[in-house]
Structure 1
Amino acid sequence: MKKIFLFLIGGTLFVSCSKKLDVAPPNNITDEQIQQLLKSGDEETINTVLGGMANNMPRMLNFQGINLVGGADLRYYDVQGLDIMRNIEGNDIVFGSTNLNIFGADEYRFIDFISEGTDKNSPYWYYAWNAITTANKMLNYLDDETVGTNAKLKEFKARGLILRAYAYNYLMENYQQAYLQGGKDKLGMPLYDTYLPIQESKARYTADETYAFIKADLNKAIQYFKDAGIGYTSAQNDFDLGVANFILARVSLWTGDWTSVITLTNDILAKYPNLIPQSAYGATNDGTNAAPIMRPEKNGFLNNAINPEVIFGFPLGDALTTHNRLMNPFAESYGGLSEGFQRIDDRLYNKIASDDFRKEAFMATQWGDYTYPTNGDKRVIPAFTNLKFAATHGLGSDDKKNVGRNTAYYFRSAEALLMKAEAQAQSGDAAGAKATLNKLLAARTKAGATPLTVDTYPTMAGLTPLQMVQLQTRIELWGEGGREFYNNKRWNIAVDRASSKNHVDKSTYPVSKMTLQIPLDEMMYNDRMVQN
């Protein structure tokens, strides 16, 4: 049978080279005819008509090609670039060892990234709304009557609902104050649940209404997966019950629904009981400091195959590599050759226990000249540079010029464990929070050492359970997904680098300026939009 090629213009799917879909007029199908085909219940037909769109839903979390951003701008061209910029707008990451004039330098120094007219703002908006539109285009065909009891259609609808919910939550994380820090009484987002090529603009709903919409989408997706018999699948790059639970747990954490966080993360942790071992936590140097050999095959943050925590990620070839280019000190790009070394703030480094192997994911002292392979250029790699995301080669390659070939992960179970511990601490269950943290600390204790606990971890003495969770979250999720920035918003923690010994920029930055303004384009073209 000939392949059927589908593409969307406006609200209509056009089909070419099809004998199977024998409809009139030739070479195109109306929306109503599409729904009739879907209602047939034939899985092959459903996959042919809607499979391409459904399979694209998870890929939107690994998206490249953000509107109006050129590919040369690594900061804002894809989702990993957006996360990296959030990473360096905090306390825990030092950008370089000297003042730099490369991508990321403005963000590190907090040069305007929130005002309505700055180009450092709008890519976050464009990305999220593109994802919402992509989801709604497919969901248009999946009304309740069409879906009925069909398991495949329920699976596809769940994928669209997850993407839409994820994107709306992303907007709320960036374009509104944290829910528990004043955001509850503020405006949320315009809520669009239908795609139309031209439709009337909507006003902003309340934050409560927006989060109710997000949670409803995710709860529906979870139920659809269960109805379709889809649980925790082995495919890391697909939406499944684990992904839906993880995103809902994150939304529930943001909104203070501690009971739901604990329930959801318990479900996740039952399916992902194992944590990254010491042998895979960052780079292993099989050479010398002068000529290091760090194979990504041994690094669980670059090779999903040896990382038992990956809930959602992408394999070599499909995975974006921007994160590695900007974080890897041996990359022939901004993270290495251009000296945009991503280093840990000495204040956080000194809080990592000596028996905690995560401390070895950062250089204790500077390394001598490293020779980058293409032109033989040398650089001194400064102290505190991360080895967490380091590799001198690419996956499956013996040529150092191929550095940067790696897998990518977006959600992992250690974060679910930390979300659970925080929910327990926030809800007053101090003993439960400590017990949950002890599982992480035992798993992060150096081989041969006595397992660490919250009571024996030196720098945790005198901390409240919530402060313990906050410290361990900063250590565990260092350099991942902009998490520190978003957590600082949730926890009302301002940036204050003044006492840091190795921060190049000693700025302070208040939580009140961590909320982006609605971009100028939206303000101009939506007469019902209200600015933050």
Structure 2
Amino acid sequence: MKKIFLFFIAGTLFVSCNKKLDVAPPNNITDEQIQELLKSGDEATIRTVLGGMANSMPRAFNYGGSGNSESRYTNVFGLEVMRNLEGNDIVFGDQNLTIFGGDEYRFLDFISEGTNKNSPYWFFAWNGITTANKMLNYLDDATVGSNTILKEFKARGLILRAYSYNFLMENYQDAYLQGGKDKLGMPLYDTYLPTQESKARATATETYNFIKADLQQAIQYLKDAGKGYTAEVNDFDLGVANFILARVALWTGDWATVISSTNDILTNYPNLLPQSAYGATNDGTQASPIMRPEKNGFLNNAVNPEVIFGFPLGDALTTHNMWMNPFAEAEGGLLRGYQRIDARLYNSIAADDFRKNAFMATAWGDYTYPTNNDKRTIPAYTNLKFAATHGLGSDDKKNVGKNTAYFFRTSEALLMKAEAQAQSGDAAGAKATLNKLLAARTKAGATTLTVDNYPGMAGLTPLQMVQLQTRIELWGEGGREFFNNKRWNIAVNRSGSTNHVDKSSYPVSKMTLQIPLDEMMYNDKMVQN
């Protein structure tokens, strides 16, 4: 009989509810007692016993990792911003920089087993797996039965575990369709025991089958529980489960699943981000801009109909905005780490595509940062996609950076569908799907853009069209370019860029991280990549 101590069950209320639940003192409550309480079927009891853990599943996205004390590595937004810098499409600043991010931009070592730029990705994912398994321990089939609340709770744990394992595969193995299929995956843990024996790595195929099974079961449980597409963006619902499943299926070449999952999402999220909310709107002048985050759909979920999963003001981590916002008093602005678009990609955006307005066509002279009245000239090509001069709900420029956050949105689902169609030979379907995005990105009053009249797409194959539009639409979001380059077998080559500070190239073969040294030392069954 195993004793489960209070700190293992984060957020539960055994102390205050001890008499109500009529169980042993909290530090002596056992697994068996907890499961008996869950089997009772009483909703109030179930929510008291397990509600805190279940509610913590989505919030695990707000955790980063350990192994590095710098803020860019203490949450997933920071981890993904670092991935953004390791590609073709983002230019980091307008001069060589020694601030954080400079090493990643110059492709200094971020993959070896001993570097502290590697291990936080490992810690982030394994924290998610452990958090999920702690709750899933209590939710075996016999305990869950036909109870809809327990099915919903179990679905949350399965979603978090699946996302975390997929995060590991994206970072720590070659892309499945680029040689990774025949390589090793991850050790598969489906229970939590503090002293359990370490496991060896499963195959990549076994790992992806495990991930897909978790997501498919989660989707069925959510349906059984009547938990479909919810209005709350910070919970795990069918939209989140289908989005992650589509992303996994895209990596493994399961085109039919990509299409069915994204169709489900697009039916429930039919509206795309409007021109009025696509990046910053300047209500002042270039010399003294006023850019309210309330109007920016990338900073305010309330005006973004695409948000499938994210967090509200207060819960949202602001690391991404700190790095991407040129008016932030941090790396992204005051310290000159301006996040700029490669001129090659900028020039491929059609003149009548309003996404071009999300980047500065010319330099902006002498912006005054509020705390110390420091002035900086913000260079051409700097993004306005994530720009704001204020924080949400604040008139004080010193509060810049207060914003909501999103992880998954509709446009990416649409682009995943278009890619699956192109990859499976449905050229007409891929073009029709892309045309929906292009129509939604056409400037008001201009002729509707299509794959046939978009200048930068002349002569491209359907897959190349998808790749270009993915790079434009998802610029600066979630490290997507890095992972897509890895998946598409596209090396980094900045030599032809007119505005990249660093002209390096970087091969796909070096986009896979080594297993961190700590894991190699303490798991005698682990095999290095």
TM norm. shorter chain > 0.5:
yes
State the one-letter code of the partner of 1:350: N
Asked if 2 retains the 8 angstrom alpha-carbon contact of 1:283 and 1:361, the reply is yes
2:509 aligned with 1:515, yes or no? no
CA 1:26–1:127: 2 relative to 1, 3 Å: closer
- Could you say which residue in structure 1 is the equivalent of 2:42? 42
- Could you say which residue in structure 2 is the equivalent of 1:15? 14
CA distance in 2, matches of 1:28, 1:44: 22
Asked if 1 retains the 8 angstrom alpha-carbon contact of 2:6 and 2:26, the reply is no
CA distance in 1, matches of 2:6, 2:448: 56
Equivalent residue runs for 1:293-332 within 5 Å:
293-332=290-329
What's the C-alpha RMSD, in Å, of the aligned pairs? 1.3
State the one-letter code of the partner of 2:23: V
Deviation, structure 1 residue 29: 1.2
Asked if 2 retains the 8 angstrom alpha-carbon contact of 1:116 and 1:520, the reply is yes
Asked if 2 retains the 8 angstrom alpha-carbon contact of 1:15 and 1:29, the reply is no
Deviation, structure 1 residue 63: 2.0
Deviation, structure 1 residue 23: 1.7
Deviation, structure 1 residue 42: 0.6
The C-alpha deviation readout for 1:406-436, integer Å capped at 9, x for no partner, is 0000000000000000000000000000000
CA distance in 2, matches of 1:22, 1:7: 16
Equivalent residue runs for 1:167-246 within 5 Å:
167-246=164-243
CA distance in 2, matches of 1:59, 1:358: 31
CA 1:26–1:501: 2 relative to 1, 3 Å: closer
TM-score if structure 1 supplies the norm length?
0.97
2:272 aligned with 1:283, yes or no? no
Asked if 2 retains the 8 angstrom alpha-carbon contact of 1:91 and 1:496, the reply is yes
CA distance in 2, matches of 1:357, 1:14: 51
Deviation, structure 1 residue 208: 0.4
2:336 aligned with 1:339, yes or no? yes
Equivalent residue runs for 1:4-83 within 5 Å:
7-9=6-8, 15-17=14-16, 18-25=18-25, 28-64=28-64, 66-70=65-69, 73-83=70-80
The C-alpha deviation readout for 1:34-82, integer Å capped at 9, x for no partner, is 0000000011111100001000000112224x22332xx1221110000
State the one-letter code of the partner of 2:514: Q
Percent of matched pairs sharing the same residue? 81
Asked if 1 retains the 8 angstrom alpha-carbon contact of 2:8 and 2:134, the reply is no
Deviation, structure 1 residue 15: 2.9
Gaps of 5+ in 1: 1-5
CA distance in 1, matches of 2:118, 2:26: 45
CA distance in 1, matches of 2:338, 2:105: 12
State the one-letter code of the partner of 1:460: M
CA distance in 2, matches of 1:509, 1:276: 33
Asked if 2 retains the 8 angstrom alpha-carbon contact of 1:315 and 1:407, the reply is yes
CA 1:27–1:180: 2 relative to 1, 3 Å: closer
Give secondary structure in 2 for the equivalent of 1:463.
Answer: coil
The C-alpha deviation readout for 1:455-485, integer Å capped at 9, x for no partner, is 0000100000000000000000000000000
Give secondary structure in 2 for the equivalent of 1:333.
Answer: coil
Asked if 1 retains the 8 angstrom alpha-carbon contact of 2:282 and 2:289, the reply is yes
Deviation, structure 1 residue 14: 8.7
1:428 pairs with one of 394, 418, 425: 425
Asked if 2 retains the 8 angstrom alpha-carbon contact of 1:102 and 1:334, the reply is yes
CA distance in 1, matches of 2:71, 2:88: 22
1:106 pairs with one of 103, 107, 113: 103
- Could you say which residue in structure 1 is the equivalent of 2:458? 461
Asked if 1 retains the 8 angstrom alpha-carbon contact of 2:68 and 2:116, the reply is no
- Name the count of aligned residue pairs: 524
CA 1:143–1:372: 2 relative to 1, 3 Å: same
Asked if 1 retains the 8 angstrom alpha-carbon contact of 2:250 and 2:416, the reply is yes
CA distance in 1, matches of 2:85, 2:9: 39
2:358 aligned with 1:352, yes or no? no
Deviation, structure 1 residue 202: 0.4
TM-score if structure 2 supplies the norm length?
0.98
The C-alpha deviation readout for 1:223-244, integer Å capped at 9, x for no partner, is 0000001100000000001100
Deviation, structure 1 residue 10: 9.3
Asked if 1 retains the 8 angstrom alpha-carbon contact of 2:67 and 2:119, the reply is no
Give secondary structure in 2 for the equivalent of 1:369.
Answer: strand
- Could you say which residue in structure 2 is the equivalent of 1:120? 117
CA 1:41–1:28: 2 relative to 1, 3 Å: same
CA distance in 2, matches of 1:24, 1:400: 53
CA distance in 2, matches of 1:67, 1:415: 29
Asked if 1 retains the 8 angstrom alpha-carbon contact of 2:324 and 2:387, the reply is yes
1:361 pairs with one of 339, 358, 361: 358
CA distance in 2, matches of 1:14, 1:223: 29
Gaps of 5+ in 2: none
State the one-letter code of the partner of 1:320: L
Give secondary structure in 1 for the equivalent of 2:362.
Answer: coil
CA distance in 2, matches of 1:158, 1:32: 21
Equivalent residue runs for 1:243-282 within 5 Å:
243-282=240-279
Question: Which stretch shifts more, 28-37 or 429-438?
Answer: 28-37
